[in-house]
Amino acid sequence: MVTTPQQASQVVTGLPQSELISTRQPVRHQIVIVGGGAGGITVAAQLLKLRDRLDIAIIEPSDQHYYQPGWTLVGGGQFKFADTVRDEATVIPRGVTWIKDQVVTLDPDHNTVITAAGVQVLYDYLVMAPGIQIDWDQIEGLPETLGKNGVTSNYSHVHTQYTWELLQTFQGGTAIFTYPATPIKCGGAPQKIMYMADDTFKQKSGVGVNSRVMFCTAGGSIFGVKAYAKVLDQVVARRGIEMKCFHNLKAVRGEAQEAVFEVTTDEGVQDVVLKFDLLHVTPPMSAPDFIKTSPLAVPNHPGGWVDVSPATLQHHRYANVFGIGDATSAPTSKTAAAVRGQAPVVVNNLLSVMDQQPLPQTYDGYTCCPLITGYNYTVMAEFDYDGNPVASFLMNPAKERWSMWLVKKHLLPFLYWQRMLKGAPFEGEMLQPIRRLLGKK
């Protein structure tokens, strides 16, 4: 069932008919999930697999559901944008109430969520899965020039196709790819498009074009996990890409095609202006504003993340609240693979709280970042909280492989749409045969 701000309910394909709900009267559900993205849908589906009579509501304002890991491949000309989107109604699990609205206030002291339409949604248990907020306006001039003047970003579904257009029409010059000072979703994405762009530039007309490719990162290294940073350093050196560390993008002068960086050196901080012909921006990100202003946020932290235990994903102060995905304080990379690792922990621990039992599962920080290092090659970077490499495919993960390119391009989208969002087992049933196959190669 769908509840809309206009006090009208429409039947979502495959979902049961239900009575209209007034947007001015409180509604109550046993479990309320904030967010209908990867985390929210996966948790709802897994909960219902275990207990099909649970009363679950998902609060999600968007009509569309995106496979965001595919946007890099859209920007690189490998996917069409339509490959990465489905109607939200088609991924909401059968039996779940869809409240098609946006959360504006969280009141965990009264087990209440308030939406933009004024609906008070009461809950017994709450799962926070709203995703991450992209703060475009934190970079001066970026909102005004994004999508023109050679400025693009694969973090906006509106501009992924403009990225591919820029790669195709690039006639030479300087191409800059940035990484901000904040946590971001899919930490490898700023590099993935850079390597595909470099391939494109070098293959133009069979002889390539005169290009200068730069990776400007606010951090001190190319990647946070040493085993994979070593491989990526070699990729950058092989390609002749210029690495510029401690370069944080602060402004874009679109018409002049100038990028202004705040550069940290031993002598202090100074502004440096770099000219560009193509600029791919990875913008700053944070938790959604309605979390930052709520009691659920980490106290005195500018990111505003949902304050959960890294191990159990239960809120530190509200035992009936759990978090999953990009908006949590869990210190791991924010990826769909992290959601996959977190979902069973959230589901089983939530059910244990409902049963007044000890929490049975812990999350080790597992995440995966398929690092495309060019067309036809990928480093399947899997690791845990401690930065230890994890090998799901029975081979050294810190190597560029054609087989992992096939996994990234063909297998992972299938598993996302057909397995993960449907609450089906991700390990064993699907991956074990693939591991054995790849392990033999």
64-94 pLDDT, tens per residue? 999 999 999 999 999 999 999 999 999 999 9
Q: Are 233 and 196 in contact (CB under 8 A)?
A: no
Per CATH, 2-132+287-354 and 134-284 having the same topology is answered yes
Angle at 109 between CA 108 and CA 111, to 5 degrees: 50
Catalytic residue, candidates 186, 216, 245, 368? 186
**H runs (alpha helix) in 356-429:** 402-406, 412-418
User: The tokens of 328 are what?
Assistant: 């949590």
Distance CA 252, CA 174 (A): 15
Q: Domain 2-132+287-354 - what CATH class?
A: alpha beta
Q: Are 325 and 336 in contact (CB under 8 A)?
A: no
pLDDT digits (tens, 9 = 90+) for 272-308: 999 999 999 999 999 999 999 999 999 988 889 999 9
Walk across the sheet containing 211-217 and list its strands: 151-152, 278-280, 173-179, 211-217, 242-244
Cβ-based neighbours of 88, under 8 Å, separated by 6 or more: 36, 60, 62, 63, 64, 65, 98
Q: Are 184 and 285 in contact (CB under 8 A)?
A: yes
Distance CA 50, CA 267 (A): 58
What pLDDT was estimated at residue 302?
83
pTM of this prediction?
0.91
Burial class of 100 by CB neighbour count within 10 A (0 to 12, 13 to 18, 19+)? buried
Within a 13 Å sphere around the CA of 91, how many CA atoms are in the beta-carbon half? 28
Q: Of 106, 17, 70, which Cα lies nearest the Cα of 296?
A: 106
Residue 433: what are its φ and ψ, rounded to 5°? Answer: -60, -35
Q: Span 22-50, mean pLDDT?
A: 92
Q: Which residue, chain included where needed, has tokens 């994004």?
A: 146
Q: How confident is the model at residue 19 (pLDDT cuts 50, 70, 90)?
A: very low
What pLDDT was estimated at residue 36?
97
pLDDT, averaged across the chain: 91
Per DSSP, the three-state class of 336 is: helix
368 is catalytic: no
Q: Span 257-266, mean pLDDT?
A: 95
For the chain, give every domain's residue range. Answer: 2-132+287-354, 134-284, 367-440
Q: Are 178 and 251 in contact (CB under 8 A)?
A: no
What pLDDT was estimated at residue 440?
40
Q: Span 222-237, mean pLDDT?
A: 96
Per DSSP, the three-state class of 316 is: coil
Angle at 69 between CA 68 and CA 73, to 5 degrees: 105
Q: Which residue, chain included where needed, has tokens 């799901």?
A: 392
What pLDDT was estimated at residue 300?
87
186 is catalytic: yes
> Measured between alpha carbons, how far is residue 12 from residues 1, 49, 87, 235, 344 in Å?
6, 20, 10, 47, 26
- CATH code of the region 134-284: 3.50.50.60
